[in-house]
Amino acid sequence: MRFLTTYGRAISLLGREWRTGALLASANLAIAGIAFLDPVLFGWVVDLLTRSTQLPTDQLWPQAVRLLGTWAAVGLTGIVASMLVALLADRMAHRARKHEMARFFGHALALPPAFHGQMHSGALMRIFFSGADSLFGLWLGFFRDQCTTFVSVLVLLPLTLILNWRLALALIVLVVVFAVLTALVIARTESKQRGAETYHNKLAALAQDALANVTVIQAFTRLGLERRRFAEVQQQVIDHQFPVLGWWALVSILTRSASTLAMLTIVVLGTVLHLQGKAEVGDIVTFMGLATLLVGKLESLVSFVARLFAAIPTLDAYFTILDAPSSVPEAPNAPALAVTEGAVAFEQVDFAYPNGPAILRDVSFTAAPGSVVALVGQTGAGKTTAMSLLQRLWDPTHGRITIDGQDVSAVTLESLRETIGVVFQDSLLFNRSIRENLLVGKPDATQAEIEQACRLAEAHEFILRQPQGYDTLIGERGTTLSGGQKQRLAIARALLKNPRILILDEATSALDAATEAKVGRALKALMAGRTTFVIAHRLSTVRDADEILVFDQGRIAERGRFDALVGQGGAFATLVASQLTPAPDSNVVPFPVPRAA
Ligand SMILES: Nc1ncnc2c1ncn2[C@@H]1O[C@H](COP(=O)(O)OP(=O)(O)OP(=O)(O)O)[C@@H](O)[C@H]1O
Ligand SMILES: [Mg+2]
């Protein structure tokens, strides 16, 4: 059963805490035993009291002292065991959660773009935090309650058979009713609960998406619409959750009735048996106590199962993510990439995104060490994709990519990515200070190195103008900076990394002509001696490239130096011409402007 597998896996995560776990389990065993002994001792006391008038004093008192002494010892053991549980269980659960969250976080960060492309970061966050919280609650619940309950039900219940099998039977029937009802309801509501979970994740994704794009929502006056969409998904959650709750309410009513019935049975059956001489009054008292205890335990178990049941889809999602393999796995014992010169070669590379059409077709080219290769072509032609294959964010579906003759898929990812510096098409900055964003390029950079890189990237001055200079926080994705400022930070970050191979994906597209010229000079200095790939729509930026690759729908349609390509009069020449002369506007169709009614 899926339910038990997930529960078992969650508990087994405590493997590294097995010492504390074992101690807690023993304490639980003691607590369960004592809980069982209590009513038994009570029954014996009652028996002794009923016989007290017939017993001579010299027999009564020693018996009473022995009984009460045992009871006191049992009580003391109970106190010690409960203290152990109170002291250790919480700490252990906190430690284990810390460990698990760190593991999950590291794993999620290492998952390939194929994974992150499919899962919204909002949903991922929800699964991450709810999953970790569910695990925490589960571990704590296990050692605080369930462990004792399991022991009581599985071990001690059969022992009651020895005390009085006829009365014990009533208790056993009660447990079976609980178990069957719970299993039935789980089976009935499992799919609904999963549905509710799906909509919960959708809700998280929706909220994150909307909050991250709050500017768009406000500018396009979509407030009401977004709120309605949110409310719709909320309604879906409720629609899926309510029937499940209804079923659990029914279980709780039925189990309560079963408990009352079990009590009545014990009293009636006990009285009948007593009249027949088959049960002492003490037996009846003992079984009443045991029944009360058991009912309490079973009720808390049912409510725990209901809670766990609600958490199972999250836990399943949590484990599925933990089990997700990297789609660009490293070969076992893969060596580090040994860069000697920095020669890059694409050999008949084909690529398609999962379940998507072909994006790159038969792409072959070589970039000599230290050369500048430009990738140009219409938007969507596959330029960024080609460069993401070089960083091995994805693997080609056919062909191979080598750096200095080593297949990028045969070396460690870390060594590969350390070799390559990228200025991304979107600047992609952290919600941290400017300095911390720059240190991403080189964690141990000195202030002097940081400033040098920023001067080269024409960023130093605007940084000094920020309220706290290099320590200014720049907001989520750098919202407090202008597009050009973000780009200059991204360039400075890449400069600091000082990589052997550099990818500039529209690195200067957001800069004005004067700043671009200045940054361009810095980039030229940076490119010297390293193999560089420049992706640019503004063709003036690629004038000096050693080779220009013109991409057309995933193929390299033309290749050569700037002047030669212009001379050929092909696609590139047309592109250049279109950038020099403005498009004729004779056949512009006017878009109707709304007028006030
Ligand atoms: N993660 C992705 N999953 C699926 N398809 C993608 C993904 N990224 C890009 N694509 C698709 O691949 C194609 C090539 O995209 P790519 O980003 O490589 O184009 P590009 O040449 O860099 O364009 P631009 O000049 O606009 O940046 C596009 O059709 C795009 O829709
Ligand atoms: Mg692109």
The secondary structure of 391-436 as a DSSP string is TTSS--SEEEEEETTEEGGGS-HHHHHHHEEEE-SS----SSBHHH
The minimum-distance atom of ligand 1 relative to the CA of 383 is: 21
Whether the per-residue pLDDT at 585 is higher than 70: the answer is no
Whether the per-residue pLDDT at 373 is higher than 90: the answer is yes
Question: Which CATH architecture best describes the domain 19-323?
Answer: Up-down Bundle (1.20)
Looking at residue 41, its pLDDT comes to 86
**H or E element: which one contains 580?**
helix 571-580
Q: pLDDT above 70 covers what percent of the chain?
A: 98
Q: Each residue of 334-354: pLDDT tens digit?
A: 999 999 999 999 999 999 998
What stretch(es) of the chain map to CATH 1.20.1560.10? 19-323
In DSSP terms, which residues pair with 375 in a beta bridge?
535, 549
Q: Each residue of 178-218: pLDDT tens digit?
A: 888 888 888 888 888 888 989 999 999 999 999 988 888 88
Give 585's contacts (C-beta < 8 A, 6+ positions apart).
none
The minimum-distance atom of ligand 1 relative to the CA of 537 is: 25
Q: Are 491 and 522 in contact (CB under 8 A)?
A: yes
The token pair at 457 is: 């990237």
What stretch(es) of the chain map to CATH 3.40.50.300? 344-580
Taking residues 90-106, report their average pLDDT.
94
Can you tell me the distance from the alpha carbon of 316 to that of 322, in angstroms, rounded to the nearest whole number?
Answer: 10
Looking at residue 156, its pLDDT comes to 67
Is ligand 1 within 6 A of the CB of residue 387?
Answer: no
Q: Each residue of 506-552: pLDDT tens digit?
A: 888 878 888 888 778 778 877 888 899 999 888 877 888 999 999 99
Q: Each residue of 474-497: pLDDT tens digit?
A: 988 888 888 888 988 998 999 899
Q: Which of 328, 311, 302 is nearest to 407 (CA)?
A: 328
Q: Are 449 and 442 in contact (CB under 8 A)?
A: yes
Q: Are 403 and 413 in contact (CB under 8 A)?
A: no
Choice between 160 and 395, residue whose per-residue pLDDT is larger:
395
Choice between 298 and 209, residue whose per-residue pLDDT is larger:
209
Q: Each residue of 224-280: pLDDT tens digit?
A: 999 999 999 999 999 999 998 999 888 888 888 888 888 898 889 889 989 998 888
Q: How far is the CA of 384 from the centre of ligand 1 (A)?
A: 7
> Residue 554: which pLDDT band, with cuts at 50, 70 and 90?
very high
Place of tokens 């018996």: 63
Q: pLDDT above 90 covers what percent of the chain?
A: 44
- C-alpha distance from residue 193 to each of 186, 187, 199, 200, 238 (Å): 9, 11, 10, 10, 11
For atom 1 of ligand 1, the residue with the nearest CA is 117
Looking at residue 310, its pLDDT comes to 85
Can you state the percent helix, strand and coil of the chain, rounding each to 5? Answer: 65, 10, 25
How many other CB atoms are there within 10 angstroms of residue 95's CB atom? 15
Whether the per-residue pLDDT at 294 is higher than 70: the answer is yes
Give buried/exposed letters for 483-506 (b at 16+ CB in 10 A, else e). Answer: ebbbbbbbbbbbbbbebbbbbbbb
Q: Each residue of 16-43: pLDDT tens digit?
A: 889 998 999 899 888 888 877 888 888 8
Looking at residue 586, its pLDDT comes to 61
Pocket probe for ligand 1: among 118, 119, 350, 359, the residue whose CB has the most ligand atoms within 8 Å is 359
For atom 2 of ligand 1, the residue with the nearest CA is 353
Q: Is 405 left (phi over 0), alpha (psi -120 to 50) or beta?
A: left
Is the Cα dihedral 302, 308, 312, 313 positive or negative? positive
In DSSP terms, which residues pair with 560 in a beta bridge?
548
Q: How far is the CA of 427 from the centre of ligand 1 (A)?
A: 16
Weakest-pLDDT range from 184-188, 342-346, 441-445, 564-568: 184-188
The token pair at 395 is: 């693997």
For atom 28 of ligand 1, the residue with the nearest CA is 380
Q: How far is the CA of 484 from the centre of ligand 2 (A)?
A: 17
- C-alpha distance from residue 365 to each of 58, 531, 554 (Å): 106, 13, 13
How many other CB atoms are there within 10 angstroms of residue 159's CB atom? 12
Q: How far is the CA of 353 from the centre of ligand 1 (A)?
A: 9
Can you tell me the distance from the alpha carbon of 200 to that of 307, in angstroms, rounded to the nearest whole number?
Answer: 16
Determine whether domain 344-580 maps to CATH 3.40.50.300. Answer: yes
Predicted TM-score (pTM) of the model is: 0.80
The token pair at 429 is: 């900055």
Looking at residue 358, its pLDDT comes to 95
Ranges assigned E (strand) in 95-212? none
Determine the 3-state secondary structure of 59 from DSSP. Answer: helix
Q: Considering the chain, what is the average pLDDT of its residues?
A: 88
The token pair at 366 is: 């070589």
Looking at residue 206, its pLDDT comes to 92
Reported as half-sphere exposure (CB side, CA atoms, 13 A), residue 277 has a value of 0
Place of tokens 């396009």: 220
Looking at residue 335, its pLDDT comes to 94
Q: How far is the CA of 383 from the centre of ligand 1 (A)?
A: 8
Amino acid (one-letter) located at 303:
S
Looking at residue 583, its pLDDT comes to 60
For atom 7 of ligand 1, the residue with the nearest CA is 353
Q: How far is the CA of 382 from the centre of ligand 1 (A)?
A: 6
Full DSSP string of 255-321: HHHHHHHHHHHHHHHHHHHHHTTSS-HHHHHHHHHHHHHHHHHHHHHHHHHHHHHHHHHHHHHHHHH
Looking at residue 427, its pLDDT comes to 75
- C-alpha distance from residue 64 to each of 39, 42, 68 (Å): 16, 12, 6
For atom 31 of ligand 1, the residue with the nearest CA is 380
Whether the per-residue pLDDT at 441 is higher than 90: the answer is no
Looking at residue 330, its pLDDT comes to 83
Looking at residue 546, its pLDDT comes to 94
The ligand that comes nearest to the alpha carbon of residue 550 is: 1
Strands 547-552 and 372-377: parallel
Q: Each residue of 378-393: pLDDT tens digit?
A: 999 999 999 999 999 9
Give 130's contacts (C-beta < 8 A, 6+ positions apart).
311, 314
Is the Cα dihedral 496, 497, 502, 505 positive or negative? negative
Q: Each residue of 409-435: pLDDT tens digit?
A: 999 999 999 999 998 888 788 999 999
Whether the per-residue pLDDT at 582 is higher than 70: the answer is no
Looking at residue 473, its pLDDT comes to 93
Place of tokens 């059409």: 357
The token pair at 165 is: 């099998």
Can you tell me the distance from the alpha carbon of 94 to that of 136, in angstroms, rounded to the nearest whole number?
Answer: 7
> Residue 454: which pLDDT band, with cuts at 50, 70 and 90?
very high
Looking at residue 272, its pLDDT comes to 92
For atom 22 of ligand 1, the residue with the nearest CA is 384
The CA radius of gyration of the chain, in Å to the nearest whole number, is: 36
Choice between 288 and 136, residue whose per-residue pLDDT is larger:
136
Looking at residue 584, its pLDDT comes to 62
Can you tell me the distance from the alpha carbon of 524 to that of 517, in angstroms, rounded to the nearest whole number?
Answer: 10
Q: Are 349 and 365 in contact (CB under 8 A)?
A: no
Looking at residue 521, its pLDDT comes to 77
Whether the per-residue pLDDT at 327 is higher than 70: the answer is no
**H or E element: which one contains 549?**
strand 547-552
Pocket probe for ligand 1: among 118, 379, 385, the residue whose CB has the most ligand atoms within 8 Å is 385
> How many residues in total does the chain contain?
597
Give buried/exposed letters for 327-350 (b at 16+ CB in 10 A, else e). Answer: ebeeeeebeebebeebbbbbbebe
